[in-house]
Structures are given as C-alpha cells and as structure tokens.
Structure 1
Amino acid sequence: MSSLWRNLTRSTAAFSPFCAGAKLSSLQLRQALVHDRETSVFSVNFSRKYSEKRFNVPPSAEFVARVSGIPTMAKLPFQESTDGLDAAFVGVPIDTGTSNRPGARFGPRQMRVESAMLRAYNSGTRAAPYESLMVADIGDVNVNLYDLKDTCKRITEAYRKIVATGCIPLTMGGDHTISYPILQAVAEKYGPVGLVHVDAHADTSDVVLGEKIGHGTPFRRCVEDGLLDCKRVVQIGLRGSGYSADAYEWNRAQGFRVVQAEDCWFKSLAPLMAEVRTQLGNGPVYLSFDIDALDPGFAPGTGTPEIAGLTPIQGLEIIRGCHGLNLVGCDVVEVSPPYDTTGNTALTGANLLFEMLCVLPKVKHY
C-alpha cells in the first residue's frame, strides 16, 4: 500500500482513472481515497454538486491486478441489499426457459469474470458513472432450477424489493424469460413502461410446447398483463426464419415499432435512436438486450443464434442512443458461456452493461 501512496505523491496524473477531469493535489487525493485493505476495494469522497455522499469506485488495474479478488461486476463492492444504492448489478442465473442450447445460467458468473477489464470512465462518451451514482453488485436472485414458474415468482419478489428503494436494476441473465417477472415488479412501481428491446427474436410467442412461460414468450405475457405502454415499444434487430410469412404481424398490431435486422444493415443506427427517443418521450423505459441480437460472428456464446445480425458498434449506438431516456431498468440476457470458447461473448455482455450504466439518468458527463 505504501507504493500506492508514493505513486499518488509523484503525480495526480498517475491516478487519472479515479480523478479524470479533476485537479487535485496529492494530499487531496489521499483524503478522497478510501481503501479497504482486505478487499482491495476503493471508494472516493469526491464532493458533488447534488450529493455529498461517498461513491463506490472500481479499483484501477494500475494498482490492483485484474486477476485478483473475488469476481463482482466491474470489481465493485458486494452488498446484500440495495440500501443507499442508485443502481445495482444483479444476476438471475437461469436457463430453464431455453428452447435450444442451455448454459445461460452461467452467464452472470462469466460476465462478472470478464468485467475485470472494465475501467471507471467511458472514453467514448466521457461518462463518469462512479462520480454520479452509488453502485454495487448485490449478487444473484435465489432461483429454483427445477421449477420455472416458481423462479418467476422469486424474481418478481426480489425485484419488488430492489425497485422499492428507487434503485435501478442492471440485470445479468439468464435466459430471456426473466424479463417478464422483472417487468412485473417494475410496472408495479412505475406503471406501464416503454421498452427498447434489442433481439434477434420477437419473444412474443403465445404457447410453446404447451407452455406459456419461456424465453420465447415474455413480451406477449407483458402485453397481456398490461405491463407495457405498447405505443412506446421498439424492437430492433429481429431476423431469421419464422413460423409464418409475417412473423411480426402480432407485434405491429399491438403498436410496437419493429425494426428488422435487414433495416439495420450497412448503416449507423444513430438516426434511428433519435426517432426512438422522440417516440418514447419522458416516461419510464426498460431496456432489454438479448446478446443474440448481435451477429454470432461477434457473439457466438448464446442459445439461439441467427446469422446476419447487428454489429457491436450498432449495439453501442442503440444503448448510447438511450441517453436522455428515463431508464428504470436494464438487462443483458442469453449469454451462454459453454458456447463462448474465447470469453468474448461474456466480455461483450459486460461492456453492454457498463454502457447501460453510463446512460442512466443523472450520470455525469465531462
């Protein structure tokens, strides 16, 4: 630890991951930085115009090895509840609702491992989430791997507690079934919400193999339960073969805007997102990103891959295009580590979650 203080004394530039944009003396840095010697977790006492509270900050790889410590999302502190948190990373490790490849139950764990690459600032947008929000990893929902309907009840109960405190959940799936029980809790607090749904599949099937609950049905159930403001729903990246000539007729009939993958080929999605922001307005919005929205050449580790999908650049354009929306919850789902031989799919998922954190309301931008 003494070597850390020597580095801080030599130059504030050496500590740029914690104080980018701030001109602080070495003494001020010492006073601002709080280090837990047992966990190597840092928190910072920077003063904010709208808050005087201390914020959790991921430890910088300049001083703490990425491979050290117990994996949490972005190496943030773990806490069991959302008390005092503005946003929280939470895992829902199930794949009981999948129809093809299993493995998404391991998605939250692997995204946490790969998130060790994340740093404190967004170099592309100059967002400083850890100077703006109190964020922690609150662990996983205690799911029932033998009973999907019971798992859905457990998820709803857990998210009621999360959103009751005003905390914004950033969820690591898990298969896409989880969005339905999460939105049950979210809509109980905020009323029907708008939805930005990024996916290869519409997930609006009615019954699959005799079951109404699964990863192909969540948004049909959400409409039936009145959880969505259907005029404020956009689905982006839909593609693949279908069970009818117009696989998205039901969605359009509900008022959804459907943007098929073919409409995204060879172009920036920034203009689309400008239209989406106008459509969704100031009301509460939920953002759900199925990793299979990306082309499997970029993200092969998923349960139901479809060719000719979005690029990671377009994925970032969509999430960054949500800046200014009243986001009340987000998820990244369907990361399946057994089919992710390089870890790049989980790494992409972790980065998408960080980008979601960066576009939440009240996040400071330099």
Structure 2
Amino acid sequence: MYKPKDSSTSPRYTGVRTFMRLEQVQTTEDVDFVVAGNPFDTAVSNRIGARGGPQHIRNSSILLRPYNPDQGINIFDFCSGVDYGDFEIVPQNIHRSYDIVAEQLAPILEKEVVPIILGGDHSISLGHLRAFAKKYGPIALVHFDSHSDTWDNYFGEKYMHGTPFRRAVEEGLIDTSHSIQVGLRGPLYGPEDLTDPVELGFQTIPMRKVRHLGQQEVMRQIHERAGNKPVFVSYDIDFVDPAFAPGTGTPEVGGPDSFEALEYIRGLHGLNIKGFDLVEVLPAYDSGEITAALASAAAYEMITLIAMRKRDRLQAKQNERLQSNF
C-alpha cells in the first residue's frame, strides 16, 4: 500500500517534491492510481511555460491531507497510489511526444490503473486519448474548458493546443455521442467556433448556459450524456475564472470560482472514469501561487473519486455476501 508521508511527523519542506508527498515509484503493482507529469508545452498560441506546470502543482500539493471532509472519506483507507514522475517527451516535436507518451501510458492502462496526468498544454490530450482508445475503444470525453479545442488548424498547423479534440474525433478516439464540453466562453473568430464542436457530435454547455441551468442540472446532464461508458476527464485550468486561476496561457473571464471548480469534479462520482488530465497551468503568471493551489486541489478531488469508486465496489460486494447468507 502506497500512501503519502505523514506531515505531522515528517516536515513538509523535507524530501523530494512529489504530488501530495507520495512515493516516487514507476510501478503499476499494488496501486490504484498514478500521478504523472506531461511537461510538453510547445504547441501553444499565446503564453509559453506550462512545461513547469507539473512541478508547480506538486510544490503546492504538499499541503494536502488524506482525509477529504467534503466527500467524507480517508482516501488511503481505500486506495494506493504513487507519483510516477514525468513522462519522457521531445520538446518541439509533438508527434514523437505523442508516440512516446502513449507508449508509456500503455502498461499503466493495461493494469487498469487510473492515471492523473498533469500538463503541459492541452495539445497533450491527443496522445493520452490515443492510449485510452487503444485500451478501451472510443471513449467518452468529459471536458471542462473555456475553449472547445476543436479548431481545424491555427497558423496552418493541425496539431496544437486548439485542435486536439477535432483530431481525436477524426481518429475515432472519442465517442462523441457520450461526450460533453462544459464552460465554453469568451470572444471568438466567428459563430463556427460554437457550432463546430456540435457538428462533430459533442454536447456543449457554454458558461452562460451553465449559469442559467445551475450546477446540479449541469451535473445531471453530464451523467446522462456519459452513461456507463468508459470516461476520460480533461480539465483545462482556464475553465476557472482567472481571478481564481491567473496562471494559465489563454485566460477567459466569466468562469466559475474555485469552490465551483472543485464541485464540478466532486459531482463526477458515479461515472466510469478511466483517467484524467489537468492542463495549462503556467507558473510564471501564477500570482501568489493560487492557480497551483487550485490545481493541486483539483487533482486531489480526482484521486478522491478513485477512492470513492473503490469504496462503493467493496460495499456492494459486502452487501451481496450479506444477502447470500439469508
């Protein structure tokens, strides 16, 4: 069983920085999840620097503790996990990086271990989805973002952080009939930026509609859309209003606050989630490190979902045994 160091007996400022002070071990044995970095960031259209995102999030995560009071669970009573380190990537070579990362994900997915991948810019999701689709077939995507990332190209380039989900649809990696994008907002080049993801098959809930519907209804629609399909959750930190997450490459005002941002993750409990990525954290613009604090809390809530799913399965088995005795 792998769990974090106890910061009541081992000071937080000691040791190598890992997520939540987990052991840094590249293993798929006796673990339910791994936290891994994907520090590729040379496919952006504005600010560069998200390569530092994984370590920035780890640095903040030392304040996290194993008991999640909002979900009422001690995570490591039910699951085991490690900090897997960073995936190897090739700076400025997106295609080789995709291939290398997909290859490194394969043994993790083969063991049904849930990866929580810290980016990096959003272009990295295409490589992740290639690995997941190879394991699970076309997967349901639950995507929180201020941008749909379904452009056909930018600067004439087909592979950058604004295009991964169009490429994923074209490659048959996503089951769009079970996929949804939440939080879209901000000025656009034209109305096609809104209609393109719908034409590709996604359900979209722009941020203005999110406010009109309310969080509970949005979560109901997410669950209805995803159903029982294997799910990949992609969470761009610019989904959150830049007042609460300034450290990102393409900030858009008018998003959720930090509490709401975490509630959207908590509300995913019950989905058949196979993996997560959390992208576009940019340390250089992170005033007071508040983006890192939120991002580490978001990853923590993702881990909590894994623990809750395992707890629910254990309880279901116990109930089955009790019923069989009558």
TM > 0.5 fold call: yes
Q: Which residue of 1 aligns with 2:130?
A: 184
CA distance in 1 between counterparts of 2:127 and 2:19 reads: 22
Q: Which residue of 2 aligns with 1:262?
A: 208
Asked if 2 retains the 8 angstrom alpha-carbon contact of 1:199 and 1:235, the reply is yes
- The amino acid of 1:263's aligned partner reads K
Unmatched runs of 5 consecutive residues or more in structure 1: 1-54
- The amino acid of 2:311's aligned partner reads K
C-alpha offsets along residues 160-211 of structure 1, whole Å, 9 cap, x if unaligned? 1221121111010010011100010001001111111000100001111121
Q: Which residue of 1 aligns with 2:323?
A: none
Deviates more, 1:149-158 or 1:217-226: 149-158
Q: Which residue of 2 aligns with 1:291?
A: 237
Alignment of 1:225-264 (within 5 A): 225-264=171-210
Q: 2:3 matched to 1:57?
A: yes
| Partner secondary structure for residue 56 of structure 1 | coil
Structure 1 residue 84 displacement after superposition: 2.7
CA distance in 2 between counterparts of 1:350 and 1:363 reads: 22
Q: 2:261 matched to 1:315?
A: yes
Asked if 1 retains the 8 angstrom alpha-carbon contact of 2:33 and 2:113, the reply is yes
CA distance in 2 between counterparts of 1:349 and 1:267 reads: 25
- Equivalent in 16, 36, 51 of residue 90 of structure 1: 36
Asked if 2 retains the 8 angstrom alpha-carbon contact of 1:129 and 1:364, the reply is no
CA shift in 2, pair 1:266/1:345, >3 Å? farther
Q: 2:48 matched to 1:102?
A: yes
- Equivalent in 102, 105, 122 of residue 159 of structure 1: 105
Structure 1 residue 243 displacement after superposition: 1.3
- The amino acid of 1:97's aligned partner reads A
Asked if 2 retains the 8 angstrom alpha-carbon contact of 1:270 and 1:317, the reply is no
| Partner secondary structure for residue 170 of structure 1 | strand
Q: Sequence identity, in percent?
A: 38
Asked if 2 retains the 8 angstrom alpha-carbon contact of 1:203 and 1:220, the reply is yes
Report the TM-score when normalising by structure 1.
0.82
Unmatched runs of 5 consecutive residues or more in structure 2: 316-326
Asked if 2 retains the 8 angstrom alpha-carbon contact of 1:128 and 1:364, the reply is no
CA distance in 2 between counterparts of 1:272 and 1:221 reads: 26
Q: Which residue of 2 aligns with 1:303?
A: 249
- The amino acid of 1:339's aligned partner reads Y
Q: Which residue of 2 aligns with 1:337?
A: 283
Asked if 2 retains the 8 angstrom alpha-carbon contact of 1:129 and 1:363, the reply is no
Structure 1 residue 246 displacement after superposition: 4.2
| Partner secondary structure for residue 247 of structure 1 | helix
Report the TM-score when normalising by structure 2.
0.92
CA shift in 2, pair 1:268/1:120, >3 Å? farther
Instruction: Report the structure number with the largest CA radius of gyration.
Output: 1
Q: 2:85 matched to 1:139?
A: yes
Asked if 1 retains the 8 angstrom alpha-carbon contact of 2:151 and 2:193, the reply is no
Structure 1 residue 121 displacement after superposition: 1.3
CA distance in 2 between counterparts of 1:350 and 1:110 reads: 9
CA distance in 1 between counterparts of 2:98 and 2:57 reads: 22
Asked if 2 retains the 8 angstrom alpha-carbon contact of 1:268 and 1:314, the reply is no
Structure with greater strand share of residues = 1
Does 1 or 2 have the higher relative contact order (CA < 8 Å, sep 6+)?
2
Asked if 1 retains the 8 angstrom alpha-carbon contact of 2:262 and 2:297, the reply is no
C-alpha offsets along residues 307-344 of structure 1, whole Å, 9 cap, x if unaligned? 11121222122111110000000011000001113111
CA distance in 2 between counterparts of 1:250 and 1:146 reads: 28
| Partner secondary structure for residue 217 of structure 2 | helix
| Partner secondary structure for residue 183 of structure 2 | strand
Q: 2:295 matched to 1:364?
A: no
- The amino acid of 1:60's aligned partner reads D
C-alpha offsets along residues 331-361 of structure 1, whole Å, 9 cap, x if unaligned? 1100000111311101111110010111126
- The amino acid of 2:271's aligned partner reads L
- The amino acid of 2:239's aligned partner reads A
Q: Which residue of 1 aligns with 2:75?
A: 129
Structure 1 residue 148 displacement after superposition: 1.7
Structure 1 residue 268 displacement after superposition: 4.2
CA shift in 2, pair 1:339/1:165, >3 Å? same
Q: 2:98 matched to 1:148?
A: no
Structure with greater helix share of residues = 2
Structure 1 residue 295 displacement after superposition: 0.5
- Equivalent in 143, 147, 157 of residue 197 of structure 1: 143
CA distance in 1 between counterparts of 2:134 and 2:74 reads: 30
